[in-house]
Chain A
Amino acid sequence: MIRENSDVILSVKDLTATVDGNSILKGVDLEVKAGEIHAIMGLNGSGKSTFSKVLAGHPDYKVTGGSVSYLGQDLLELEPEDRSRNGIFLAFQYPLEIPGVSNLDFLRVAYNAKRKQAGEEELDAFDFDELVREKLDIVKMDAAFLNRSVNEGFSGGEKKRNEILQMALLEPRLAILDETDSGLDIDALKTVAEGVNTLANADNAMLVITHYQRLLNYIVPDYVHVMANGRIIRTGTKELAMELEERGYDWLMVEETAAV
């Protein structure tokens, strides 16, 4: 929801980044305010996944220029774990499997890391159990999931729902969903989207990165940005996503080239 006087959560200015010496981001500008849902669309290799990893602080991605301000502080100075503790959440395209570590323990460690940062008392296993059970409904997960090893043997849909469960617990100010829709059947997609919609409020913001317009039928964005060659080349509303679905990306690329 776009509101005039909302806080600026994220302000990205002329951001450039490389991976393995290859220049991937070539000057990204983006401003995200509280309450807003932004979608970033683009073809494979456009830089959209790189952008999400740079925001979350992946060490393989080197920022070479520009700035990222998050709630008024320099985001690029923070370690990935500190970004998380300060309210940035990245839902992964390929969540990690961790055999031998129960989902419940993992969620509690992550949850308590954030509480500690906020100067709050850590929750013991008993209290946490109660909290996590409330959140399970959001992603329609069975309590049995909690006792299984993190993501081990989970189906694609289960893994993504587990990501959204983590998001529900960590209550981020800025949630970045990196191709959360890829590989999901329509029921799983709906569940994930409903989870995200439940969690979206006036204080937080969502950055939804996707290849397909399909997800945006369920998570309605306030802004749609199109990324190509490491830059945002067009910003519009959800109608832009519809147009991309119909016409593909080529016409935009042609216009972009013509403009240059």
Chain B
Amino acid sequence: MTIQVSPVKETTKVTAASQRAAYWATLLELAQASASPVKGLETLREGAIAPSQSQSFPTTRNEEWRFTDLSALLDVALSQPDSTVAPSAADLDAYALPEAAGSRVVFVNGQFSAALSDRTAIPQSVFVGALSDAPDALVAQIGQISGAEEEFTALNSAGFQDAVLIHLPKNAVVDAPIHLLFVTVGDRPSLVQPRCLLVAEPNSAVTLVEEYVSLGTTPHLTNAVTEFILAENAQVKHTRIQGDTTTAFHIGKTAISQERTSRYVGLTVDYGSQVSRHNLHVHQVGEQTETVLNGLAYLRGEQTSDTHSAIALTQPHAQTRQLHKTIIDDRAHAIFNGKVFVPQAAQMTDAGQLNRNLLLSPKARVDTKPQLEIVADNVKCTHGAAIGQLEADEVFYLQSRGIDSDSARKLLIYAFAYEILDDLPVPSLKQRLLNQLQIAR
């Protein structure tokens, strides 16, 4: 065995580290330059800047980023988003949901667009609006869920340009789904930092679709943070669609706080971006909560998509269900890390977690790590991960019924995805996604 010590490599390392530090500093500068000067956010901003300054751009040596390599972003010179470009309503036709025609909120490059939004179907008692219009008490609740110190969450807090805030008063039920459409557009690679807060007071109920898309193929870094505060018995159905252009980088955070007997049903679909990461954190603060986290990632080409979820239980009688599926083609790479914490106090927990991965090509890759940490002794917890390909027997069965092998493969992929997409609460969105993912029959 020969051991080589290469001073050149050492220099490269130092350079790489300093490059990352410099890049991180630029991101922070960009964020601060874009930050909206809204009263009531000062503490949050200051609280976020300090930790951000001591952090750096994550590398794969960081356990939380082990399989998700963001280094391609270092080659993209980002600037502030272009505030002069404005897409027309027709540009967004492809994303319109008829069910949400009067309950649509559009953000362009991180900024609320009144012209493209339509809130006529939202009841008077419910607030849905941008930062500048929001009541102080609501603004004060931004960034209150734990986990705010994570590097990209802090970066967002340090400088989000605008935010969409939603307040559902006690017993309020919004019938129409609320569609939050975050559009990135323009020829200038930019840092876009959307922010969203939903506060659901006791017994309120809403269906929310949070969707990220790009118009065009200019790379961008979207760093989004969404927070849900569910009071007692509140019911939130949340669908998150990540469909940014395949040159983009997307970091998303969803933080959920659940009071007693509240119910959060989440469904994520990731099909966009070059590299995407979704951090999904559930904090249980009352007993008998119900949590569903289902997801589908459909990746092609050189895409990487990472879902890191953590369910932190602290109270008894919680029920959690998670089914995360990935379909990975070409040289794409999916990562799943699902943590469930069941401490002593969380007796009678019923937690189930399953990650299923379908590899469509020999170069496709998946890294999966389901993690259950159970201390409580009277609980029912299951977890598992499965990785497979389309089985020759399955394709053969369909061929033996006269269906050619291409159609047979499509049908089987459809069946795999359907288990997740079938639960989409908005029918037109379900049909659109099936078409978009080219798995419609």
Residues of chain A at the chain B interface (Cβ within 8 Å) = 56-60, 79-81, 83-85, 89-90, 92, 95-96, 98-101, 105-106, 109-110, 113-114, 117, 166, 170
Contacts and interface: CB of A to CB of B under 8 A. Distances in A.
A77 to B, nearest CB: 15
A80 B408 CA distance: 12
A110 B394 contact: no
B415 A81 contact: no
Interface string B155-168: 00000000000000
B397 A96 contact: yes
20 contacts: A57-B400, A58-B392, A58-B396, A59-B396, A79-B399, A80-B396, A81-B403, A84-B400, A89-B400, A90-B400, A96-B394, A100-B415, A100-B417, A100-B422, A101-B418, A109-B407, A110-B402, A113-B402, A114-B402, A166-B401
A98 B412 CA distance: 7
B137 to A, nearest CB: 45
A80 B411 contact: no
B441 A105 contact: yes
Nearest to A56: B400
B22 to A, nearest CB: 49
A57 B415 contact: no
B414 A100 contact: yes
B404 A81 contact: yes
A100 B403 contact: no
A82 to B, nearest CB: 8
Contacts of A113: 401-403
Contact of B402 (A98, A101, A117): A117
A114 B399 CA distance: 12
Contacts of B417: 100
A184 B398 CA distance: 23
A96 B393 contact: yes
A98 B405 contact: no
A105 B441 CA distance: 10
B399 A81 contact: yes
A92 B398 CA distance: 11
Given A79-B399, A101-B411, 8 more contacts: A59-B392, A80-B400, A81-B402, A84-B399, A84-B400, A89-B400, A101-B441, A105-B441
Contacts of A59: 392, 396
B187 interface: no
Nearest to B420: A100
A90 B396 CA distance: 11
A80 B422 CA distance: 31
Contacts, number: 72
A92 B400 CA distance: 10
A178 B402 CA distance: 18
A99 B418 contact: yes
A132 B392 CA distance: 29
B377 interface: no
Contacts of B419: 99-100
Nearest to A112: B402
Interface in B207-231: none
Nearest to A110: B401
Contact of A109 (B396, B403, B422): B403
A100 B412 CA distance: 10
A59 to B, nearest CB: 6
A101 B415 contact: yes
A96 B405 CA distance: 15
A98 B414 CA distance: 9
A170 B400 CA distance: 11
Q: Which 3 residue pairs of A and B lie closest in terms of their CB atoms, listed nearest first?
A: A100-B418, A113-B402, A80-B399
Nearest to A152: B415
Contacts of A100: 414-415, 417-419, 422
Nearest to A92: B397
A90 to B, nearest CB: 5
B392 A60 contact: yes
A115 B417 CA distance: 29
A183 to B, nearest CB: 17
A95 B398 CA distance: 10
Nearest to B417: A100
A159 to B, nearest CB: 12
Contacts of A106: 401
Nearest to B412: A98
A98 B411 CA distance: 8
Contacts of B411: 98, 101
Nearest to A149: B415
Contacts of A57: 396, 399-400
Contacts of B397: 92, 95-96
Contacts of B404: 79, 81
B236 to A, nearest CB: 26
B402 A170 contact: yes
A84 B403 CA distance: 9
Nearest to A107: B401
A101 B398 CA distance: 12
A51 to B, nearest CB: 15
A114 B396 CA distance: 16
Contacts of A98: 411-412, 415
Contacts of A92: 397, 400
Interface string B50-82: 000000000000000000000000000000000
Contacts of A99: 415, 418-419
Contacts of B399: 57, 79-81, 84
Contact of B403 (A56, A83, A110): A110
Nearest to A96: B397
A170 to B, nearest CB: 7
Contacts of B407: 109
A59 B397 CA distance: 11
Interface string B408-430: 00011011011100100000000
Which among B397, B404, B411, B422 has the greatest number of chain A C-beta atoms within 10 A? B397
Nearest to A58: B396
